[in-house]
Amino acid sequence: MLKHDYMQVSQDQPIYSEAPLQLLLFVDGRPKSRQQVQRIRTYLKALQAEYKFELQIIDVGQQPYLAEHFKLVATPALIKIHPEPRQILAGSNIIAQLKTWWPRWQTAVDTYLKLQEDITERIDENGRVSSSKSTINSIAVSAELMRLSDEIFRLKQEQDKLQEQIQFKDRVIAILAHDLRNPLTAVAIAIETLQSNYNPETGDFERLKPAMTAHLLKQARSQTKIIDRMIADLLQVGRSNDIELPIIPQKTDLGQLCLSVLEELRDRYTAKLLEIETDIPKDLPSVYADPERIRQVLVNLLDNAIKYTPKGGKISLAGLHRTTQKVQFSVGDNGPGIPVENRDRIFENHYRLQRDEGTEGYGIGLCLCQRIIRAHYGQIWVDSAPNGGAWFHFTLPVYPS
């Protein structure tokens, strides 16, 4: 057998020697394994008087990629990486296993050295020697490649998250800009009506009853507050790194909120001579929800219903105390409806029905509606209306009494 000095190499020290037998000893920081590791190292050190080999001690806590590379399930573990084939000794009886395998490893070393002698005698015409020796260096390189691969994967995840944030901001800004039209229109109509009937000489609003004047002023104030909230949302979305709008739930009268949204959209549905049918029970319980967020849901659902309902058609609104914990609200129309195969996808980001390409309508805000309802631990879905068209339903939690 060959004799040579025993070699122990730290985890950061490169290996450059040509020892034919190369071993890796994986250890960990557990107090229970320290005695076993010390016995293994003492036994290996005793072999230095007779055998030439390289040994690298690897702490799995500091180099987890190497442990992953060898698919280790337990430590300590002793691995013969050269000459091939690779062999792993693990468990509580590593020394006993090593005594059994050591003669076989030395036979493999002798065979390898003989093979190397044969190879050196067969130098090719370019003066190069073919060798397939695996070294500890190559293992270290593999571990570094694995670490870099994990780092690339982490960076890719961060990139995907940033991309999702950008898309969310773009989508919300587009939706809020779209939704701003309704309160702006309501404010403009109220101001124009008041202005057209105002007599600066007398200070009176001619042809307007006091009650109507008060109503228009109240409408302008309430819509201005809505605009202010939406602008605040735009600013917050621009500053935040979140991919959700903030939810501030409170006791909310869903029926009253729906009637308020209908009032905002009155000019739009009256222009199409649409009939509005409501079935909102007076005893419908309050819900625990953010009124401004649910208002966005109602505006988008009613906006789509108005757009897709033919002139002279009907839009239905219904409330239902579905369970002791849930209230269901529905918005229906008698338009073309949503094909069955598209009903799950209609809420996806950027998804649009083929018929809607190039137009506004379904798809504008539905993804955000789903986010808002899910943030309230509710559900939103669509099915067919009894008289044709589409029924959009959503649920919200009942305000605890």
Residue ranges with strand state E in 200-325: 204-205, 250-252, 275-279, 287-289, 314-320
Give the bridge partners for 320, in sequence order. Answer: 328
**pLDDT level of residue 358 (50, 70, 90 thresholds):** very low
| Predicted pLDDT at 349 | 57
What local confidence, expressed as pLDDT, does residue 244 receive? 63
3-state SS, residue 387:
coil
pLDDT for res 235: 67
Q: Domain 7-122+135-147, CATH 3.40.50.150 — does that match? A: no
Residue 243 pLDDT greater than 90, yes or no: no
Residue ranges per domain, the chain?
7-122+135-147, 248-401
Predicted pLDDT of residue 241: 58
Residue 32 in contact with residue 92, Cβ under 8 Å?
no
Place 12 in a pLDDT band, splitting at 50, 70 and 90.
Answer: very low
Question: How much is the pLDDT for 320?
Answer: 92
Decide if 338 contacts 346 (C-beta within 8 A).
Answer: yes
Most confident of the following: 130-139, 140-149, 150-159: 150-159
* Helix (H/G/I), strand (E/B), else coil: 311: coil
DSSP track, 41-97: HHHHHHGGGT---EEEEEETTT-HHHHHHTT--SSSEEEEEESSSPEEEESS-HHHH
Query: Where does the pLDDT of residue 140 fall: very low under 50, low under 70, confident under 90, or very high at 90 and above?
Result: low
Mean pLDDT, residues 257-282: 89
pLDDT at position 139 is 61
* Confidence band of 263 (pLDDT split at 50, 70, 90): confident
CB 388 within 8 A of CB 337: yes
Q: Omega before 336 cis (within 30°)?
A: no
Instruction: Give the model's pLDDT for residue 11.
Output: 39
Mean pLDDT of 256-262: 91
Full-model pTM? 0.49
* Residue of higher predicted confidence among 358 and 45: 45
User: Worst-scoring range by mean pLDDT, 105-109, 158-162, 191-195?
Assistant: 158-162
Query: What's the confidence (pLDDT) of residue 143?
Result: 62
Q: Once rounded to an integer, what is the mean pLDDT over residues 13-21?
A: 57
Copy the structure tokens of residue 231. Answer: 């602008």
Specify the 3-state DSSP secondary structure of 272.
Answer: coil
Q: Return the pLDDT at 60.
A: 86
- CA Rg, the chain, in Å? 38
Mean pLDDT, residues 187-209? 84
- 3-state SS, residue 122: coil
CA dihedral over 176, 178, 181, 182, signed as positive or negative: negative
CATH topology of domain 248-401: Heat Shock Protein 90 (3.30.565)
**What pLDDT shows up at residue 286?**
94
Q: Report, as an integer, the average pLDDT of 375-385.
A: 90
pLDDT digits (tens, 9 = 90+) for 206-215: 788 888 888 8
What pLDDT score does 129 carry?
A: 47
Q: Which residues pair with 289 in a beta bridge?
A: 250
Residue 301 in tokens: 């659902």
Please state, in angstroms and as integers, the Cα–Cα distance from residue 89 to each residue in 34, 55, 109, 242, 252, following that order: 17, 14, 18, 49, 67
pLDDT tens, residue by residue, 23-72: 999 998 888 888 899 999 999 999 877 888 888 888 888 888 788 778 88
pLDDT at site 337: 83
Is it true that 7-122+135-147 and 248-401 share their CATH fold? no
Structure tokens at 163: 């991309």
pLDDT reported for residue 17: 47
**Strands 275-279 and 314-320, how do they pair?**
parallel
pLDDT at 355: 46
Q: What is the mean pLDDT of residues 270-287?
A: 92
The Cα 372–Cα 349 span in angstroms is 14
As a whole number of angstroms, the distance between CA 250 and CA 347 comes to 26
Long-range contacts of 223-229 (CB under 8 A, 24+ apart): 223/183, 223/184, 223/186, 223/187, 223/190, 223/264, 224/183, 224/187, 226/183, 226/292, 226/295, 227/180, 227/183, 227/184, 227/187, 229/292
Residue whose structure tokens are 């006791």: 251
Q: Tell me the C-alpha distance between 374 and 20, whole Å.
A: 63
pLDDT at 258: 93
Calculate the average pLDDT of the chain.
79
Burial 219-257 (b: 16+ CB within 10 A, else e): bbebbeebbebbeebbeebeeeeebebeeebeebebbeb
Greatest alpha-carbon pair distance for the chain in Å reads 120
Q: Is the pLDDT of residue 221 over 60?
A: yes
Dump strand ranges (E) for 61-219.
77-82, 87-90, 198-199, 204-205
d(CA 188, CA 190): 5
- Phi and psi angles of residue 198, each rounded to the nearest 5 degrees, phi first: -90, 135
Q: What is the DSSP letter of 326?
A: E
